[in-house]
Structures are given as structure tokens and as C-alpha cells.
Amino acid sequence: MADIIFEPLRFKNLTVKNRVFRSNISGRFDNYDGSGNQARINWEVKFAKGGVGAIISSFVPVHLRGRIVPNYAMIDNDSRIPFWRALGKAVHEHDCKYILQLSHGGRQRDINGIEYPVGLSSTGKTDPVHGFKCEAMTLAQIKEVVGYFADGARRAREAGLDGVELHGANGYLITQFLSSAINDRKDDYGGSLENRARFVLDIVRAIRAKVGADFHLQMKISATEHDDALGLFRKLKPKGNTVEDSVKVCQWLVQAGVDAIHVSTGSFFPHPRNPAGVDLPVEDLAKSYDTMISSGERTFLNYLLFRGQPRIARRAWNQAAGDRKHIEGANLKDARAIKQAVAVPVICTGGFQTASVIRGAIERGDCDAVSAARPLVANNELVKMFARGLDEAPEPCTYCNKCLVNVVENPLGCYDEDRFKSRAEMIDQIMSVYTPAPFAGV
Ligand SMILES: Cc1cc2nc3c(=O)[nH]c(=O)nc-3n(C[C@H](O)[C@H](O)[C@H](O)COP(=O)(O)O)c2cc1C
Ligand code: SF4
């Protein structure tokens, strides 16, 4: 019998050769000014070679004010198009599709950079985790940012990429509008679910007006927000959007022209449930979080907590993480609820790295495809292993989240030393993203 994992997935405007997508993930590989670098191309090609059907890029800012950290390639003006064209071409050589994630961080950032110390948001309240300052967007600013997303989609199309994804998940600007826990506006963009969804629906319509009906457009959404996961008074906090809210939003998105839904969770990032880990690696976190100390109002206190009271930080995080024994497929219930309500394919993210689990999820109708980030960082060739008949990699991802806590300061790769024969081997694997080098020297 044919293996569903290797059956092509047909979207309205795109066909992907199998059901495993590389989920959005990358390191700070590019130039400070947002121009792309060879390391990002090397990074993406690793996964294309490993057999995934499509790669969904990491966060690609549509405007400088929307970036979360410097050194991520941007798509904020036409001069960026040649870089994305080169990247798409390199990925296509391995029969892999490339979907670019159009993103704006709003108030949620890691390092604000020198250009825009104050972010934009639906609200004027600082973000609750790091305390990044922001201002509530005016109607004129909303219109402007909607235009940035549409121009980003046009540029992705001109670059020959296979589609775009709206980063509508994990607490970034679109979530800041969608979320009942964050959006406190009194105008047409706040209040009811319909009003909170207006911003993203404006974006979808603006993109369709710019790129037409035949370019792939998908949306990543935090189906359940769990906004009350952290904080001293979390029991008093609102939970944010429920899956029922998100089902409604997804139906509106599809009516407005979205071709697929990518299901995630959590109203901020990182969140104890996303990327879900077996433990919070506080000691590693304390080593990299210093990079963020001067960025937000709460970052220094967080740093003292990680350094001075790691046990308290670890306990608070782990208690909020839900079932840490069942990380693989934790979002499938939400994916299923959405899939039953919309007529477009649904991709689910969260822990996927076992062929039988992925197969089961698709065969049961919980989703049409899965996306994987950390498991593919740990095993770039996981899909090829599935094709050879393995159910899992010999050294699976341990969900230790050391890659996550290193990413703000260090190059991205797998940081679980126990998975390697030696520390030197681990470091070689991390540094491999810099080969081939952009400038070979004379
Ligand atoms: C280091 C790191 C960076 C990430 N960057 C992004 C991002 O730019 N955009 C996004 O939508 N998700 C991002 N994610 C979330 C992943 O795409 C994925 O949805 C999540 O980690 C759960 O999947 P996994 O268990 O396969 O890692 C990131 C995750 C990690 C660990
Ligand atoms: S550091 Fe490696 S093993 Fe740990 S979560 Fe990241 S990819 Fe998985």
C-alpha cells in the first residue's frame, strides 16, 4: 500500500511532493541591514537535500520596524528580490518547494536594533515576557503595514518562490490584533472577534489584490493561545483565543483567499507549549540571555532570575508546559477541529519526528501534512530515513530546547551534546552552515 507520507499534497495553487514540511526556523545568518547571506542559502539547502517536500522560511520581516532581531534576511524592498531568487533556485534544485513567511513582530522582539527602538502593536502595553515598548497603531499605520505585507508577497512571487505564509501565530503583530488577551483597541480593529480579525483579513485581501488568485498563500495561527501560561497572577489572566475562536477566523481567512492553514499554539514566543520541551535549559538560557538585557523593561530581571533562581524559573516554565511526555502531535486536536471546519489543507506543527505518528495523524484526518523544525535540525535527512523504512531517526531530537535558547546569540544548530560523539563534532555540525563560504578568499 502506498505510504501517505509520500503522497503529493495538492493545494489550490501548489503541489508538494510529500507530507513533511520544514517548519519555520533559522539563525541570525544574514547581514545587519537585512540583506541575505550565503549561510541562509546553505541552511535551507540542508533541508531540501534531506527530502522535505517544502520549506517554510523563518520570520522574514516585511518592514524594518517589524523585525525581531537583526541579521535575518528581510523582504522590505525590491532590492531584496535577487537574494530570494537565488535562495529559491538553490532549494528548487533538490525538488523542494519554498514558502516565505511574511512577518511583522509588532511589540514582540528579541533585540530591537538601532533603527526603531519602539515597536508597533494593536495595544500600547509592553509585551509581558521581556517588556518591549510599543505604541498602539493609528489607522494610517495599519493601512501602511497592510501594504507592506502585500508588497512582500509580490516580491516573493517576483523572486519565483512557491508561496507565502502569514506569520499569524506565536504573539507577533497579527496575533497582537487577533488575540482577545492582547488587543485592547476601541475602534473597528478591536473588541469583537470579527473586529480583531479585520487586520489579517485586510492583509489577505491586499495580497490577493497584488498577486492575484493563483499564488499560494497560507496562514500560521496559534489555534489555542494559552495566554495565562506564565506570571505571578496567571490565574487571574485571560486565556486568550480558544480553538473555537480560531476555527471562525480560519473560515473567514479561507473565504478571503487563504489556501492553507498551519496550526501552532501560544500567544507569545517562546511559550512553554511552543516549542514544547522536556525541560527549560535554564543554565544555557542564562548564557545567551545577556544579549537581550538592555532591550526590554523586564529583561534584566529575567536575567537575574535565570542566573540566581534557576529552579524557580524552571518550575514555572515546566508547570505551564502541559504534558511534557507527549510532545509529538500535541497540536493535533486543534488541527483536527480546524480541518473539519475548512475546505483547504491543514498543516500541523509540534514535535513530529516519527513516521508512524505522522502517518496516523494524516490517515485519521487530523491534518493533511506536518511541519517539523527541531527534529529536522537534529536530523536534516529525517525524510530520507522515512523513505528507507525507518520509523524514527537513530538519534532523535530530545526536545531539550538548547537550540532555541542559543539562537539569539549563537549560530543555529543542534546543541544537545549527548547526541554527538564529542563536543567538537557538535560544533562542526553547528558551523557547517557557513560552508560553502560567501567569499572564498584570494
Ligand atoms: C530556534 C527556533 C526558531 C523558530 N523560528 C520560528 C519562526 O521564525 N517562525 C515561526 O513561525 N516559527 C518559528 N519557530 C517554531 C517552529 O517553526 C515550530 O513550529 C515549533 O518549533 C514546533 O515544531 P518542532 O517541535 O518541530 O520544533 C522556531 C522554533 C525554534 C526552535
Ligand atoms: S538542541 Fe537538538 S536535540 Fe535539543 S531540541 Fe534542539 S534540535 Fe532537538
For residue 374, which atom of ligand 2 is closest to its CA? 7
Q: What is the pLDDT of residue 26?
A: 95
Pocket of ligand 1 (CB under 6 A): 23-25, 58-59, 101, 167, 169-170, 220, 264, 274-275, 349-352, 372-375, 403-404, 407, 412
Give the angle 275-31-73 at the CA atoms, nearest 5°: 50
pLDDT in tens, 233-289: 777 788 999 999 999 999 999 999 999 999 999 999 999 999 999 999 999 999 999
Q: Is the pLDDT of residue 141 over 60?
A: yes
Q: What is the pLDDT of residue 440?
A: 60
Q: Tell me what the mean pLDDT of segment 146-153 comes to.
A: 98
DSSP 286-311: HHHGGGGTTTSSSHHHHHHHHHH-HH
Whether the CB-CB separation of 231 and 128 falls below 8 Å is answered with yes
For residue 406, which atom of ligand 2 is closest to its CA? 1
Q: Is the pLDDT of residue 138 over 60?
A: yes
Q: Which of 384, 318, 331 is nearest to 355 (CA)?
A: 384
Whether the CB-CB separation of 53 and 97 falls below 8 Å is answered with yes
Which of 20, 21, 22, 25 maximizes ligand 1 atoms within 8 Å of its Cβ, making it the mutation to test the pocket?
25
Which residue CA neighbors atom 22 of ligand 1 most closely? 350
Which residue CA neighbors atom 17 of ligand 1 most closely? 24
Pocket of ligand 2 (CB under 6 A): 374, 377-378, 397-403, 414-416, 419
Q: What is the pLDDT of residue 442?
A: 57
DSSP 135-195: EEPPHHHHHHHHHHHHHHHHHHHHTT-SEEEEEESTTSHHHHHH-TTT----STTSSSHHH
Q: Could you tell me the pLDDT band of residue 441, with boundaries at 50, 70 and 90?
A: low
**% of the chain surpassing 90 pLDDT:** 91
pLDDT in tens, 336-387: 999 999 999 999 999 999 999 999 999 999 999 999 999 999 999 999 999 9
- Å from CA of 273 to ligand 1 middle: 12
Q: What is the pLDDT of residue 362?
A: 98
Q: Could you tell me the pLDDT band of residue 325, with boundaries at 50, 70 and 90?
A: confident
pLDDT in tens, 165-215: 999 999 999 999 999 999 999 999 999 999 999 999 999 999 999 999 999
Q: Is the pLDDT of residue 403 over 90?
A: yes
Whether the CB-CB separation of 26 and 40 falls below 8 Å is answered with yes
User: How far apart are alpha carbons 387 and 44 in whole angstroms?
Assistant: 20
Q: What is the mean pLDDT of the chain?
A: 96
pLDDT in tens, 38-95: 999 999 999 999 999 999 999 999 999 999 999 999 999 999 999 999 999 999 999 9
Q: What is the pLDDT of residue 322?
A: 82
Catalytic positions are 172
